[in-house]
Structure 1
Amino acid sequence: MKSILLILFILMFALKARSQNSATSNVEARVVVVEPIKITKSVDLNFGNVIAGYTQGTIILSPDGTRIANGVQISNAVPGDVSAAEAVVTHGEYNYSISLPDDFTLFNESNPNQFMVINQFQVTPLPEITNQGDDVLRIGATLNLEANQSSGYYTNPSGFNVTVSYN
C-alpha cells in the first residue's frame, strides 16, 4: 500500500509539472476596413495660347494657374484656356502619395509628326477643401517648345495618369 501511495504521489507531481509547461490566453482579432482611395479629375491641364519663337523655349504653368514664358511669348491679349489640372482625392484622412509621369507628349492634331513634351510636373494639395477626408490637387507642369514650333492645336487624347496610393 505504501508503494501504491508513493506511485500515486509521484504521478500527481509529474502531472502537475506537465500542466505548468503550457498556458493559454484568449486573443481577440479586429480589423478596420478603409474606404478605397479615389481620385476624380475636375479640370484638364491647359497651357493656353503660345506664340512660338525662333528659339526653343518653355512655358511654366504653376499649380495656381499662372504662366511664365522663357524663350517664347504668351498671348496676354488672347490667352486662351489657361488652367492647372485639378482633381479631388477622397482618402478618409489617411496619408497617401501622389505619382505623376516623368513626361507626356502632345501631338499636333493636323500633323502628328509635330509634337511638344510636357515635364517637370508640380502638384499642390489643398487639404480639406470640399469636405473632411478630401483634398483638391492642382497640377502644373512645364511645356517645352522647339524653335519655330509649327502652329496648331496640340493634344494627346490618351491623357496622363495621376496616381494616388495609401502610404
Structure 2
Amino acid sequence: MKKLFTIAACAFGLILMANTASFAQASATATATATIVTPIAISKTTDMSFGNIAVGATGGTVVLPATGARTVTGGVTLPATTGTVAAAAFTVTGQSGYTYAITLPGTSTTLSSGANTMTAATFTSSPSGTGTLTSGTSTLTVGATLTVGASQAAGTYTSATPFTVTVNYN
C-alpha cells in the first residue's frame, strides 16, 4: 500500500508540473493586410506662354504668376495685342483624398529664337507646395519670371528643353 501511495503521489506531482508548464506559455494570432493605392500621375494640358512683349533700351522682366495677370518690370511693356498668355497647366491624378508634394524646376529654362536667348526662372505653382486629389484629380498651374534683355531681338522664343514638374504622394 505504501508503494501504491508513493506512485500515486508521484503521478499527481507529475500532473501538477505538467499543468504548471502549460501556464508558462501563451499564443495569439494576427492577420496581415496591404492596400494598393492608385499610382500618382501628372500630364500637361497647357504649355506656358508669356504672350506678346515689347522692350526698349532697358531690359526687365515679365512675371507670369500661376494664377492672375502678368506684370512687368524695367523697360518691358505689354502691348494691347496680348497674344496667348497662359501659365502651364497640368492634371494630377491618383488616390482620392490623398495629398501630394509639388517639385518645381530648380534651374532656369532657356528660350531661344535663333541665336537670341532669354531665361525663365523663379517658378511658382498653384496650389503651392502641396495639393489635394479631390475625386482623384487636381489641376496644377505653374508660372515663372521671364528675364528680357535690353533691346531683345524680335522673334518667337521657345524652350528647346521642356521644364519638369514632379508630384509625389505625401
TM-score range, shorter chain: 0.7 to 0.9
State the identity as a percent: 34
Sort the Cα spacing of 1:3 and 1:148 in 2 relative to 1 into closer, same or farther, 3 A: farther
CA distance in structure 2 between the partners assigned to 1:106 and 1:150 by the alignment: 15
Mark the structure with the bigger radius of gyration: 2
CA distance in structure 2 between the partners assigned to 1:42 and 1:36 by the alignment: 19
1:95-110 to 2 correspondence within 5 Å? 95-110=99-114
CA distance in structure 2 between the partners assigned to 1:96 and 1:124 by the alignment: 13
Tell me the secondary structure at the aligned position of residue 67 of structure 2: coil
TM score, norm. by length of structure 1:
0.85
1:9-24 to 2 correspondence within 5 Å? 9-24=12-27
Sort the Cα spacing of 1:21 and 1:157 in 2 relative to 1 into closer, same or farther, 3 A: farther
Q: Which residue of 2 aligns with 1:37?
A: 40
Offset from partner CA, 1:51-81 (integer Å, 9 cap, x none): 2333331111012251100013233322221
> Could you tell me how far 1:82 is from its partner in structure 2?
0.7
Q: Which residue of 1 aligns with 2:58?
A: 55
Q: Which residue of 1 aligns with 2:122?
A: 120
Q: Are the aligned partners of 2:62 and 2:147 in contact in 1 as well (CA < 8 Å)?
A: yes
Tell me the secondary structure at the aligned position of residue 12 of structure 1: helix
Residues 1-10 or 137-146, more deviating = 1-10
**Structure 2: gaps of 5 or more residues:** none
**Structure 1: gaps of 5 or more residues:** none
CA distance in structure 1 between the partners assigned to 2:75 and 2:20 by the alignment: 89
Tell me the secondary structure at the aligned position of residue 53 of structure 1: strand
Q: Are the aligned partners of 1:103 and 1:117 in contact in 2 as well (CA < 8 Å)?
A: no
RMSD over aligned Cα atoms: 2.2
CA distance in structure 2 between the partners assigned to 1:19 and 1:148 by the alignment: 92
Offset from partner CA, 1:94-146 (integer Å, 9 cap, x none): 111111012332232311xx432222211113867xx7221111111111223
> Could you tell me how far 1:84 is from its partner in structure 2?
0.6
Tell me the secondary structure at the aligned position of residue 16 of structure 2: helix
Q: Which of the numbers 82, 86, 89 marks the counterpart of 1:86?
A: 89
TM score, norm. by length of structure 2:
0.83
Tell me the secondary structure at the aligned position of residue 140 of structure 2: strand
Q: Which residue of 1 aligns with 2:153?
A: 150
CA distance in structure 2 between the partners assigned to 1:74 and 1:34 by the alignment: 48
Tell me the secondary structure at the aligned position of residue 153 of structure 2: coil
